[in-house]
Amino acid sequence: MGDEVLYQKVFPVTGGDFDKAGEVSTQIKAILKGSGIDSTVIRRVAIASFEAEMNVVIHADEGEVDFILTPSDICLVVSDRGPGIEDIELAMQEGWSTASDDMREMGFGAGMGLPNIKKSCDAFEIESEVGKGTTLHMVINHNRHQP
C-alpha cells in the first residue's frame, strides 16, 4: 500500500451478539460521511463492512474490524476467532451458506455475504484456517472513479 495512514481504528465484534450486530459498520459509515468521500464509495464500504461484521456475529466467537483510511484507499481487515472456512471456493458461490435456520429467520444466511463483499471491493482476499478463524482483507479506492 505504502500510503500514509490518515485515520485508523480497531473495533471489537462479539460473536452471537445480534443486538449490537451492525453497530461497527454504522460507526464506520458515520466516520466516512464526515470525510467528503463520495456517497457511492461510502455505501460500498458500508456494505462490505456490514456483511463481514455479520459473518463474525453469525459464525465466530469474537473478532475485530481494523479500519484504515489512507489518501487513496479505505482498507478493512476483519479477523475472527471461529470455525474457519473449509472450502473458500464454495463459500464464494452465491447461495451457498452454512448459517443455521435461526440465522435465516433473522434475515441472514442467503449465501450472498462473501459475494456481496467481493462485488463491493476493488481488492479482496480471504485467509482461513479450519478450527482457528478467518481474516478478510478488503480495499476500496476512494480517490478515483468507480471500477
Q: Does 110 bind other proteins (CB under 8 A)?
A: yes
Contacts of 143 (CB under 8 A, 6+ apart): 71, 72
Burial status of residue 131 (CB atoms within 10 A of its CB: 0-12, 13-18, 19 or more)? exposed
Binding marks (x or -) toward other proteins, 85..104, rule CB under 8 A?
--------------------
Binding mask 36-65 for other proteins (x = CB under 8 A): ---xx--x--xx--xx--x-----------
Q: What is the CA radius of gyration of the chain?
A: 15
Q: Binders of other proteins: how many residues, by CB under 8 A?
A: 26
Q: Which residues bind other proteins (CB under 8 A)?
A: 18-19, 21-22, 25-26, 29, 39-40, 43, 46-47, 50-51, 54, 106-113, 115-116, 119
